[in-house]
Chain A
Amino acid sequence: MSAISATEKVDGFTRKSMRKAQKQKKSQGSSQFRTQALTELSPLPQLKDAPSTEQQELFSQKLQQCCMLFDFMDSVTDLKSKEIKRATLNELVDYVSTNRGVLVETAYPEISNMICTNIFRTLPPSDNPDFDPEEDEPTLEASWPHIQLVYEFLLRFLENPDFQPSIAKRYIDQKFVLQLLELFDSEDPRERDFLKTVLHRIYGKFLGLRAFIRKQINNIFLRFIYETDHFNGVAELLEILGSIINGFALPLKAEHKQFLMKVLVPMHTAKGLALFHAQLAYCVVQFLEKDPILTEPVIRGLLKFWPKTCSQKEVMYLGEIEEILDVIEPTQFKKIQEPLFKQISRCVANPHFQVAERALYFWNNEYILSLIEENIDKVLPIMFGSLYRISKEHWNPTIVALVYNVLKTLMEMNSTLFDELTASYKSDRQRKVEAWRWKPHAMGMLL
């Protein structure tokens, strides 16, 4: 049994990290269901050397040449043709970004054809069926040397000063957008980054597509939440939405409110929340800044979905609550203070010190403090029991120290109420102990 290492002999199990380290090779994937036959490419003259009368024709030839697709999973075939295509793509990128007057109407269909042929494809099956985006290396797109340049070209095309949406909309249509959105599931972060910029540009330039784009993103998210629990580009799509929400007109349309309540709020339940929570919280806060009336239902939604067993998520939720409280209106605060502080009080008493600590940090926030002070008669009775108990019982000295400070702050806000609560807490406890003593089975535990 020579293959068994000494460590394995000891515990019989290889550690996950060791297994991971063994397969540290960069994994690559690509999926092109090819129907066309491969023909070898031959280099065309440079665009800059061609007489201006022939440039248009040459441009179009080069676009056609770039429609040829190559198998990058096989790194030794067609090297020459691959190189010709790469050089041509580079030249095309250069051509559309530095020259004026090259985007004549007849070029649009050819440009669109070249882009669609290259980037629109069914993404390959994931190499690793239980891909954990937080732990595992993503599978990179093997044909990136070409695809990257096509994305580059697409961006330069969209950003060209001569670009005319009125012509382009014949090609950059709903179907185009739909295929673009599906690519956001790519495991390759480089590709998702390009897609983000591209979609943002399209949203900006094609007013007629905006509602459609929003609806399709909506569908992707719903599928993510309720069907698959898996989509690689959630963070990127949320980032785009963040800036879209910013531009919503007031009063908010019912469609937008529905999106917030039925999509963004339930999205907090996702398993991989950590991967996009920052972007998600940003979107939520954007909404609440637009329309403060939404604060109450949103917070109630978060409380409904509050994590029960995942401390890491709880910390994220608390972070988001603080972001919301930062912009909350005092009238809204009054509406949700009771359920909210019941939850915060549970968090403060959480045996996981990071959860307790994150909740206690609220008391370092000036604005939150002022809200608490204004409503001390409601907040203090809810918080008191947990804080007092934790100050005596929590295992973590940092938490105990933080709780002392919080208790002190609260006492200063209303010392009479504080004393009353202390007294009733103690007598309550006394009563419980008495009641216990009378139960014979509890005697053993007290003694």
Chain B
Amino acid sequence: SVEKEAPGGGADGDDSLYPIAVLIDELRNEDVQLRLNSIKKLSTIALALGVERTRTELLPFLTDTIYDEDEVLLALAEQLGNFTMLVGGPEYVHCLLPPLESLATVEETVVRDKAVESLRKISQEHSPVDLEVHFEPLVKRLASGDWFTSRTSACGLFSVCYPRVSSTVKAEIRQHFRTLCSDDTPMVRRAAASKLGEFAKVLELDYVKSDIISLFTALASDEQDSVRLLAVEACVSIATLLPQEDLETLVMPTLRQAAEDKSWRVRYMVADKFSELQKAVGPEITKNDLVPAFQNLLKDCEAEVRAAAANKVKEFCENLPEDSRETIIMTHILPCVKELVSDTNQHVKSALASVIMGLSTILGKDNTVEHLLPLFLAQLKDECPEVRLNIISNLDCVNEVIGIRQLSQSLLPAIVELAEDAKWRVRLAIIEYMPLLAGQLGVEFFDEKLNTLCMAWLIDHVYAIREAATCNLMKLVEKFGAEWAQNTIVPKVLGMANDPNYLHRMTTLFCINSLSEACGQEITTKQMLPVVLKMSNDQVANVRFNVAKSLQKIGPVLDSSALQTEVKPVLEKLATDTDMDVKYFAQEAISVLALA
């Protein structure tokens, strides 16, 4: 057996086998980490052993060790999925089935799932004959296993072998799937329900109508809501497979029932999958059935459901049939949307705010001004910052339709308030939209109203905000140009070099780092460089080594005479600093800038 012979490894005196012997030895080590390492190098072991010994010795050995720690089993399950060539190619791939079968029955979900994944993978490498002789019997064994774990695993294997087996075997597979759909363990029914759509896709249309629909109907009225909600997912695939004329009788009764299920989880699922469902059932059914269903979901008593539906408002409207789109939106959807703007739950409002702006492109200029604008303005004044932020972050959609000027009066107070929000993550989020806003509002408006804010962020007490503010300045300069920078922001930034707080002085350096390139050689040499050089005498070491870093950073923008006459002496002085870090960064700058 492997373990007896291998440690000798070179019975034939082959030293190259010695490391393999060690690996095999480690497969049995008491230390989990070592076993894990060894399993992860399993392909190396197999390669060294050769295909025959891998089949006859290594695999049986592995099959026997399957009572190990879950971590080891997980690694093993994954490895075996890539083992086909190592056991001799497709002809022998069925050797991998026994260990994977055991792994597919263990308790731990991640191991089982990985084993199923590997089984699905190697199923493709089986010839049709091997599939019937070796693979399908395994699926059958799993499907009729005692403990729920093996039956759960079986659910994921039907669809991979069905298309490639004979019609008798196909009939058996359908029968097994049917049995698992009515298993008395809810775990198994859940697994079957989650694979229903996938299985439907590989079935012949007649069987979809005769078998799948009845299973679908049964699962969708299961006593457990956790099963029913999975049937909603399957509904999408099933509806896609059926011809339009069958949808009304075969699918719609169940879908209607799900949209009004007494459990909010099921209704949530319907709301969450609404766009997919809409596409699957087509425009006619959408008009007659889904519109009222969607209205109900937008008015649901459970906030969770309303939020999921609110998220879909734009997509739903977009996908409405063009001939009646505007009428449906104006008469059916918009009234619900108006109510959601003043919903009691902030998640609902914020979900709506993230998509509502998209309606303007669908409804056009006049409707937007008349009906949507009041809603945007209301949301811009919402008490919850996330709602305001979501509106601001989607301004570009409105900009295209009506121009942002319409909003600017309300926009400004909202931006100012967010810019000063107590939560730094909110401040961070608004900073990220600044370049976008600046582009849309134009330079004048920006200088007048927003410039002060951008500068104030540079002295925020949270580093992440100062950092984002620095980056923001760079993007603004890219938009508005060097001249603008020279007149508006560079003086303010350089002024901070004399601030009593060393963190603010460092911010000057960070700004220079990111601005120099965008501002160009002249501004950098004439205005920024003198300030940086002066700061090399700062009493705080952190400032001094950041001077060295800044010089390294802006060096490429400067011309060689400035480098030689101004930068070099300062760096040389810093290289003899008493502080270790200052010395280090100065030397680094000297070598990077090739000033040595």
Q: Which positions in A face B, CB cutoff 8 Å?
A: 1, 3-5, 8-9, 12, 31-34, 121-122, 124-125, 175, 178, 219, 222-223, 226-227, 262, 266, 304
Would A226 and B187 count as touching, CB distance under 8 A? yes
B68: min CB distance to chain A, Å: 10
Would A33 and B107 count as touching, CB distance under 8 A? no
Question: Cα distance A33–B302 when bound, in Å?
Answer: 8
Whether A31 touches B187, Cβ cut-off 8 Å, given contacts A226-B109, A227-B109, is no
Interface residues of B in 84-108 (CB under 8 A from A): 107-108
Question: Cα distance A31–B190 when bound, in Å?
Answer: 24
Interface residues of B in 280-321 (CB under 8 A from A): 301-304
Would A223 and B186 count as touching, CB distance under 8 A? yes
From B69, B109, B264, B461, contact of A9 by CB (8 A): B461
Is residue B367 within 8 Å, beta carbon to beta carbon, of the partner chain? no
Would A219 and B302 count as touching, CB distance under 8 A? no
Whether A178 touches B223, Cβ cut-off 8 Å, given contacts A1-B420, A219-B186, is yes
Would A33 and B301 count as touching, CB distance under 8 A? yes
Question: Cα distance A284–B344 when bound, in Å?
Answer: 47
Is residue B422 within 8 Å, beta carbon to beta carbon, of the partner chain? yes
Would B302 and A222 count as touching, CB distance under 8 A? no
Would B262 and A226 count as touching, CB distance under 8 A? no
Chain B window 241-285, contacts with chain A (Cβ cutoff 8 Å), 1 for yes, 0 for no: 000000000000000000000111100000000000000000000
Least CB separation from B427: chain A residue: A1
Question: Cα distance A175–B224 when bound, in Å?
Answer: 11
Size bin of chain B's contact surface: 20 to 34
Question: Cα distance A24–B186 when bound, in Å?
Answer: 38
Question: Cα distance A266–B149 when bound, in Å?
Answer: 14
Would A12 and B187 count as touching, CB distance under 8 A? no
Is residue B421 within 8 Å, beta carbon to beta carbon, of the partner chain? yes
Least CB separation from B146: chain A residue: A258
Q: Which residues of B contact A125 (CB under 8 A)?
A: 264, 302-304
Is residue B462 within 8 Å, beta carbon to beta carbon, of the partner chain? yes
Would B185 and A219 count as touching, CB distance under 8 A? yes
Least CB separation from A265: chain B residue: B107
Is residue B326 within 8 Å, beta carbon to beta carbon, of the partner chain? no
Would B187 and A122 count as touching, CB distance under 8 A? no
Q: Which residues of B contact A12 (CB under 8 A)?
A: 424, 461-462
Would B186 and A124 count as touching, CB distance under 8 A? no
Question: Cα distance A5–B422 when bound, in Å?
Answer: 9
Is residue B3 within 8 Å, beta carbon to beta carbon, of the partner chain? no
Is residue B158 within 8 Å, beta carbon to beta carbon, of the partner chain? no
Is residue B148 within 8 Å, beta carbon to beta carbon, of the partner chain? yes
Supplied contacts A12-B461, A125-B303, A262-B107, 6 more A-B pairs, CB within 8 Å: A12-B424, A33-B263, A122-B262, A178-B223, A226-B107, A262-B147
Q: Which residues of A contact B420 (CB under 8 A)?
A: 1, 3
B150: min CB distance to chain A, Å: 13
Question: Cα distance A32–B302 when bound, in Å?
Answer: 9
Question: Cα distance A288–B491 when bound, in Å?
Answer: 80
The 6 closest A-B pairs by CB, nearest first: A3-B422, A122-B263, A125-B304, A12-B462, A226-B109, A33-B262
Question: Cα distance A222–B304 when bound, in Å?
Answer: 26
B306: min CB distance to chain A, Å: 11
Is residue B225 within 8 Å, beta carbon to beta carbon, of the partner chain? yes
Least CB separation from B109: chain A residue: A226
A239: min CB distance to chain B, Å: 23
Q: Which residues of A contact B461 (CB under 8 A)?
A: 9, 12
Interface residues of B in 442-469 (CB under 8 A from A): 461-462
Question: Cα distance A34–B301 when bound, in Å?
Answer: 9
A90: min CB distance to chain B, Å: 28
Can you list 6 A-B pairs, Cβ within 8 angstroms, ordered by A?
Answer: A3-B422, A12-B424, A31-B264, A122-B262, A223-B186, A223-B226
Would A32 and B186 count as touching, CB distance under 8 A? no
From A4, A223, A227, contact of B422 by CB (8 A): A4
Question: Cα distance A8–B301 when bound, in Å?
Answer: 38
Q: Which residues of A contact B421 (CB under 8 A)?
A: 3
Specify the main secondary structure of chain B where it touches its partner. Answer: loop
Would A222 and B262 count as touching, CB distance under 8 A? no
Question: Cα distance A86–B422 when bound, in Å?
Answer: 45
Whether A122 touches B223, Cβ cut-off 8 Å, given contacts A1-B422, A262-B147, A266-B107, is no
Question: Cα distance A1–B465 when bound, in Å?
Answer: 14
Interface residues of B in 31-89 (CB under 8 A from A): 69
Q: Which residues of B contact A34 (CB under 8 A)?
A: 301
Q: Which residues of B contact A175 (CB under 8 A)?
A: 223
Question: Cα distance A219–B263 when bound, in Å?
Answer: 20
Q: Which residues of A contact B109 (CB under 8 A)?
A: 226-227
Q: Which residues of B contact A222 (CB under 8 A)?
A: 148, 185, 187
Least CB separation from A33: chain B residue: B262
Chain B window 100-130, contacts with chain A (Cβ cutoff 8 Å), 1 for yes, 0 for no: 0000000111000000000000000000000
Least CB separation from B422: chain A residue: A3
Q: Which residues of B contact A1 (CB under 8 A)?
A: 420, 422
A229: min CB distance to chain B, Å: 11
Would B304 and A223 count as touching, CB distance under 8 A? no
Question: Cα distance A32–B303 when bound, in Å?
Answer: 12
Q: Which residues of B contact A122 (CB under 8 A)?
A: 225, 262-265
Whether A31 touches B186, Cβ cut-off 8 Å, given contacts A3-B420, A125-B264, is no
Would B264 and A223 count as touching, CB distance under 8 A? no
B97: min CB distance to chain A, Å: 24
Whether A227 touches B302, Cβ cut-off 8 Å, given contacts A1-B420, A33-B264, A122-B265, is no
Q: Which residues of B contact A124 (CB under 8 A)?
A: 264, 302
Q: Which residues of A contact B422 (CB under 8 A)?
A: 1, 3-5, 8
Least CB separation from B301: chain A residue: A33
Least CB separation from B149: chain A residue: A226
Would A219 and B187 count as touching, CB distance under 8 A? yes
Would A31 and B148 count as touching, CB distance under 8 A? no
Would A31 and B147 count as touching, CB distance under 8 A? no
B256: min CB distance to chain A, Å: 14
Q: Which residues of B contact A5 (CB under 8 A)?
A: 422
Least CB separation from A266: chain B residue: B107
Would A227 and B107 count as touching, CB distance under 8 A? no
Question: Cα distance A227–B421 when bound, in Å?
Answer: 39
Question: Cα distance A32–B186 when bound, in Å?
Answer: 24
Chain B window 457-493, contacts with chain A (Cβ cutoff 8 Å), 1 for yes, 0 for no: 0000110000000000000000000000000000000
Question: Cα distance A9–B302 when bound, in Å?
Answer: 38
Question: Cα distance A178–B226 when bound, in Å?
Answer: 13
B116: min CB distance to chain A, Å: 14
Least CB separation from B464: chain A residue: A12
B5: min CB distance to chain A, Å: 29
Question: Cα distance A8–B148 when bound, in Å?
Answer: 52
Question: Cα distance A5–B186 when bound, in Å?
Answer: 51
Interface residues of B in 194-248 (CB under 8 A from A): 223, 225-226
B555: min CB distance to chain A, Å: 33
Question: Cα distance A178–B224 when bound, in Å?
Answer: 9
Least CB separation from A12: chain B residue: B462
Question: Cα distance A370–B303 when bound, in Å?
Answer: 61
Question: Cα distance A9–B424 when bound, in Å?
Answer: 11
Q: Which residues of A contact B265 (CB under 8 A)?
A: 122
Q: Which residues of B contact A33 (CB under 8 A)?
A: 262-264, 301-302
Q: Most chain-B CB neighbours within 10 Å: which of A31, A33, A34, A121?
A: A33
A122: min CB distance to chain B, Å: 4
Q: Which residues of B contact A31 (CB under 8 A)?
A: 264, 301-302
Q: Which residues of B contact A4 (CB under 8 A)?
A: 422
Q: Most chain-A CB neighbours within 10 Å: which of B109, B225, B262, B265?
A: B262
Q: Which residues of B contact A32 (CB under 8 A)?
A: 301
B114: min CB distance to chain A, Å: 14
Question: Cα distance A32–B264 when bound, in Å?
Answer: 9
Chain B window 126-161, contacts with chain A (Cβ cutoff 8 Å), 1 for yes, 0 for no: 000000000000000000000110000000000000
Whether A223 touches B187, Cβ cut-off 8 Å, given contacts A3-B420, A12-B424, A122-B225, is yes
Q: Which residues of A contact B147 (CB under 8 A)?
A: 262
Would A227 and B264 count as touching, CB distance under 8 A? no
Q: Which residues of A contact B223 (CB under 8 A)?
A: 175, 178
Interface residues of B in 404-433 (CB under 8 A from A): 420-422, 424
Q: Which residues of B contact A3 (CB under 8 A)?
A: 420-422
